[in-house]
Structure 1
Amino acid sequence: MMLRLVIAFISLILAAGAAGAGEERSPVSECQLVADALPKASFVRFDASPSLQLAAADRDVTITYLGHSTFLIKTPGGISIATDYNGWLRSPRLPDVVTMNKAHSSHYTLAPDPAIANVLHGWSDTPGEKAVHRVVVGDAYIRNVSTDIRSFGGFEVNGNSIFIFEVAGLCIGHLGHLHHELTDGHFAEIGRLDVVMVPVDGGLTMGADSMSRTVKRLRSALVLPMHRRGPPISDFLAMFDQSFDWKISDNAAVTVSMATLPQKPLILVLKGV
């Protein structure tokens, strides 16, 4: 936990320094930097008080489950992001950003409200090519990692995306309609995920065993199941040993920050799943 706090604090210092110098900086992924550098990284030492480090990282992000694969992420800066947006699972106000995947019509819409400023497709209009998103909206940096989807008895290359939202020092990932186990290359692109939203349908995406292996390798502090169709949630939970905690929540929302991430990986089943 302390390592995460220090990394978040360093990132804030670097960003503030660039802003103070009036420079424009290309987006830099905190999540990938950590994944690529450890365990060989040598971290710069800052003579900052522990209270200042905690204040820099103790910013709340609220994640609300709207249904199916759609979550609403609210950042400390007031940006709202809807995942796998289909147009009919709506939030109280129009999101600033929506992400989509096209495996099924319940994961996208080709006619989103034109007032939505940022519409990010998880697929490219050119078959086989990767969709590439590296977008900064307010206090959120949003990027994607392409995966394949099943199509007409085979696989459509790069037809799906795992979207990653970097905000308030947190690395938040949405696996989308993931149809296959990830390669080492995928894991390297993803980097660290503190929070991961994972489909638990048991077969429409991947079987529970394959999906649980993906979750175990990501080793996220907070695991949020989604896309449950048919199998009881207990089938997914049964795939994990005592190295994971789990909890059935009475709420559809969870508020999290770098300072409040669980010490032990927690599978949190939000209300409605």
Structure 2
Amino acid sequence: MLVRFITPLVLLCVFAGALPARAQEPAKPASQCQMIAQALPDVVFASVRSADVQSDGTVDITYIGHSTFFIETAGGVKIATDYNGWYRTPSLPTVVRMNRAHSSHYTMAPDAAIAHVLHGWRDDGGPADHDLVVGDVYIRNVPTDIRGWGGAMVENGNSIFIFEIAGLCIGHLGHLHHELTEKQYAEIGRLDVLMVPVDGGLTMGTESMSRVVERLRSALILPMHRRGPPIAQFLSMFDESFDVSLSDTATVKVSTATLPRRPLILVLKGV
């Protein structure tokens, strides 16, 4: 007789326990480089280490050409930035990331043996969203707009990729066409190593790009994408608070212990 007093809501609660639990989406890895924006533009860096990512070791960074660097981790992960298939990497990359500004920054026919091919854009015009751990690397991106062939900005056509490796935050600006917003600075967070285009116009003017570099204040700055103007034009934008070094090799070994104490613009061989 008591059953007649059981409401549909009670029955739903009773039977809900017998239903299979809904699969939860996996949580994103914790970024050790992310900023906590308390009062932009003044921010506090979050010092959070992901349990999923190794936090020691040395990273080898080799300049291959144009905007392509080859990054090798202690765990054996190999990453090629702005991969176009033209520039030959020392070995097959594990991960390639691309941007679609020009055909020199992407290929639609990458080697099928490459495990992870990451586009910095989406075909539907939405923002690309990458959050993945590959071996000892956490990879994420911050979308930016890009200038179309007619001169108008195209939303979400470029991505700044951030690689968190061995306690380091390594950022590649891609084909950046505009100065960053406060929101984008907050999404990027701390960058210990910065790969920056220095063409002086195909991406952004030298003065605009130098303001981005000064704001990010990375320990190690690696110029790339130099077309036309001499590297001296870019270097002349910085005062004595930035050190400059011209390397006779295309590779630099980086670790948290060897980061320069003052910002260093290191021009690798080939740039």
Equivalent residue number for residue 87 of structure 1: 85
SS at match of 2:223: strand
Equivalent residue number for residue 14 of structure 2: none
1:143 to 2:140 alignment:
yes
CA distance in 2, matches of 1:198, 1:105: 19
Equivalent residue number for residue 6 of structure 1: none
**In 2 relative to 1, CA 255–162 (structure 1 residues): closer, same or farther, beyond 3 Å?**
same
Residue 153 of structure 1 deviates from its aligned partner by 2.1
Q: So what's the TM-score if we normalise by structure 1?
A: 0.83
Conservation of the 8 A alpha-carbon contact between 1:35 and 1:192: no
Conservation of the 8 A alpha-carbon contact between 1:36 and 1:191: no
Residue 40 of structure 1 deviates from its aligned partner by 8.8
Equivalent residue number for residue 103 of structure 1: 101
1:223 to 2:225 alignment:
no
1:28 to 2:33 alignment:
no
SS at match of 2:257: helix
**In 2 relative to 1, CA 57–137 (structure 1 residues): closer, same or farther, beyond 3 Å?**
closer
Equivalent residue number for residue 204 of structure 1: 202
Equivalent residue number for residue 129 of structure 2: 132
Tell me the number of residue pairs that the alignment of Structure 1 and Structure 2 aligns.
236
Residue 35 of structure 1 deviates from its aligned partner by 4.6
Q: So what's the TM-score if we normalise by structure 2?
A: 0.84
- Determine which structure has more spread, i.e. the larger CA radius of gyration: 2
Identity of aligned residues (%): 69
Conservation of the 8 A alpha-carbon contact between 2:33 and 2:45: no
SS at match of 2:33: helix
CA distance in 1, matches of 2:45, 2:161: 27
1:61-107, CA deviations, whole angstroms, 9 ceiling, x for partnerless residues?
Answer: 00000000000001110100000000011212110000000000000
CA distance in 2, matches of 1:40, 1:231: 35
Structure 2 residue runs without a partner (length 5+): 1-25, 49-53
CA distance in 1, matches of 2:78, 2:184: 26
Equivalent residue number for residue 255 of structure 1: 253
CA distance in 1, matches of 2:264, 2:230: 18
Write the letter of the residue equivalent to 1:26: K
Equivalent residue number for residue 15 of structure 2: none
Relative to total residues, which structure has the larger helix share, 1 or 2? 1
Residue 26 of structure 1 deviates from its aligned partner by 3.4
**In 2 relative to 1, CA 26–245 (structure 1 residues): closer, same or farther, beyond 3 Å?**
same
Conservation of the 8 A alpha-carbon contact between 1:171 and 1:194: yes
CA distance in 2, matches of 1:117, 1:200: 30
For 1:112-191, what aligned pairs fall within 5 Å after superposition? Answer: 112-127=110-125, 129-151=126-148, 152-191=150-189
For 1:4-15, what aligned pairs fall within 5 Å after superposition? Answer: none
Conservation of the 8 A alpha-carbon contact between 2:67 and 2:105: yes
Equivalent residue number for residue 70 of structure 2: 72
Write the letter of the residue equivalent to 1:211: M
